[in-house]
Structure 1
Amino acid sequence: MKISKQEAEHYIWGDQCDGWHLVKKGDLSVIHERMPANTSEVKHYHQHSRQFFFVLSGTATIEMEGEEIVLHPQEGVEVAPLVPHQMFNKSSEDMEFLVISQPISKGDRIIVE
């Protein structure tokens, strides 16, 4: 079945960040996300979900295990289960990326204090 961002289920998270569910199944999630300038998500990890973040536009900074990794368009990084991570948009422009999770990450997120 064909899916487009315009037809996908939309939600808002964090500081006015957007998400669109492109694939939403029990064993696989593909989400197109947008983070405005100078926003971030909370630091967390997943008990079971393995994730892959792939930047479509803008510049992302992801912190994993105390190290910051800068991702430019057409670059990505895999995050294994149990690895604390946090996504930032430290730039002055919107950033868009895909996050692919297997199995889905809903209900699997543990916030790191």
Structure 2
Amino acid sequence: MKVSKQNAEHYVWGGKCDGWHLVKNKDVSIIHERMPPHTKEVRHYHTRAQQFFFVLKGTAALEVDGIIYDVKAHEGVEVLPFILHQMMNRSSEEIEFLVISQPFAQGDRVAVYEEED
């Protein structure tokens, strides 16, 4: 079956961001995500899954193990298990990207909350 944002399972995260499960099984997941300007996810790591973030539109800021990478459209970054990371949209434009997780990342995410200043 052909899959797209129009027919994929949709969810909202962080109150404003969207995700569409393009592939969702125990071995791999591929999610198309959209982040409005000035949004970010919680810094976290995965205990099993390795992930690959591939930007489709805009420029994302992806923090990986304390280093922030500006990831432009058609660029990607791999994140291995146990490595802290956080996707951010620091721009005034919407960003879209793919998150490819192997194996399926649900259930192995460990959030790291920071104290507010």
Normalising by the smaller structure, the TM-score range is over 0.9
- Name 1:95's counterpart in structure 2: 95
Deviation at 1:2, TM superposition (A): 1.4
RMSD: 0.7
- Name 1:83's counterpart in structure 2: 83
1:5 to 2:5 alignment: yes
- Unaligned residue ranges in structure 2 (runs of 5+): none
Deviation at 1:15, TM superposition (A): 3.5
- Please, what TM-score do these two structures have when normalized by structure 1? 0.98
Q: Structure 2: how far apart are the matches of 1:70 and 1:56?
A: 13
Q: Structure 1: how far apart are the matches of 2:102 and 2:86?
A: 18
Q: Once the two structures are aligned, what percentage of the paired residues are identical?
A: 61
- Please, what TM-score do these two structures have when normalized by structure 2? 0.94
Q: How does 1:36-51 map to 2 (within 5 A)?
A: 36-51=36-51
- Name 2:71's counterpart in structure 1: 71
- Name 2:35's counterpart in structure 1: 35
AA matched with 2:60: A
SS at 1:6's partner residue? coil
Deviation at 1:78, TM superposition (A): 0.2
AA matched with 1:36: P
Q: Structure 2: how far apart are the matches of 1:3 and 1:57?
A: 19
Q: How many residues align?
A: 113
Q: Structure 2: how far apart are the matches of 1:85 and 1:4?
A: 27
After superposition, give the CA deviation of every residue in 1:66-108 in whole Å (9 maximum; x if it has no partner). 1100000000000000000000000001000000000011001
